Amino acid sequence: MTIQALYTAATGMDAFQTNLDVIANNLANAATTGFKESRLNFADLCYQNYQLPGSLDSNGQPVPIGLQIGTGVRTNGTELDQTQGSFIQTGAPLDMAISGQGFFQIQDPQSGQILYTRAGNFSINANGQVVLSSPDIGRFLEPTLTIPPGAQNISITSDGVVSIVLPPSTTSTNIGQIQLANFINPQGLIAVGQTLYQLSDASGPPQIGTPGTEGRGLLQQGYLEASNTDPVNSLVDLIKTQRAFELNSNVVQAGDQILQLLTSLRRF
């Protein structure tokens, strides 16, 4: 029993260490545009059944309870929290936030793969193409959108219509339509870093369409969606996890001391 307690407590230490890693990542990205925090789920391990509930006693009557000893805990996967973060007003014409469900489509020029993000901090490259702001690589907004040189008064409506004024004309000209992707199970998307996600069999295929249609959110120009990490709640979770780790560590130490004591007693 004592040896089993050591292993059981050790599984708790391992699981809570993983939870500390998840919480640390959430806190580290508390100011990351479009970031979605993760939650670690736990599951108990198998049980040793010394006596099953309903077993017959010496009188032939079923006992009301059994004797079952658990063998610990394991991590049961991380779950993305896709709730919307608060909006930050920037006033930048190419900054966009999605009010509701949906993701911007981003094309990786190296792989040609389409990725998805809630971060709407877009800018223009040297060719006038709208790209997701990054010092590493210019990933294109999909469908591709190009802003002509000298364009003024860039306007993006809530349903994604992009228009500009190109001097000397004073008339607004439509130059593109932003589309959003939605998923049956957005929690099933694979996080690949830089607030980008990749589809998976769990997420299902993207359902692409105009903002504001079929459950997709509306766009708000001049705003960015902040991280949905709540630092206060994360700190509370951090303290609880740290205490749970320490308690499991105490169990390991206590079990080891008892084991040493029992070993010494057997020598007599």
φ, ψ dihedrals at 266, nearest 5°: -70, -15
Is the pTM here over 0.85, yes or no? yes
- pLDDT digit string (tens) for the chain, length 268 residues: 567 888 889 999 999 999 999 999 999 999 999 999 999 999 999 988 888 888 888 888 888 888 988 999 999 999 999 999 999 999 999 999 999 999 999 998 888 899 999 999 999 999 999 999 887 788 999 999 999 999 999 999 999 999 999 988 889 999 999 999 999 999 999 999 999 999 999 999 999 999 999 999 999 999 999 999 999 999 999 999 999 999 999 988 887 777 777 677 676 6
Q: Domain residue spans in the chain?
A: 2-82+230-266, 87-225
Task: Determine the pLDDT at residue 1.
Answer: 53
Place of tokens 């993006």: 156
Would you state the structure tokens that stand for residue 151, as one six-digit string? 């364009």
Q: What pLDDT is stored for residue 251 in this prediction?
A: 87
Q: Nearest 5 degrees, angle CA 109-CA 92-CA 223?
A: 90
> Pairing relation of β-strands 103-107 and 114-117?
antiparallel
pLDDT score of 182: 97
Q: Are 220 and 159 in contact (CB under 8 A)?
A: no
What are the start-end ranges of the E strands in 81-127? 87-89, 96-99, 103-107, 114-117, 122-124
For residue 90, give the amino acid letter. Answer: T
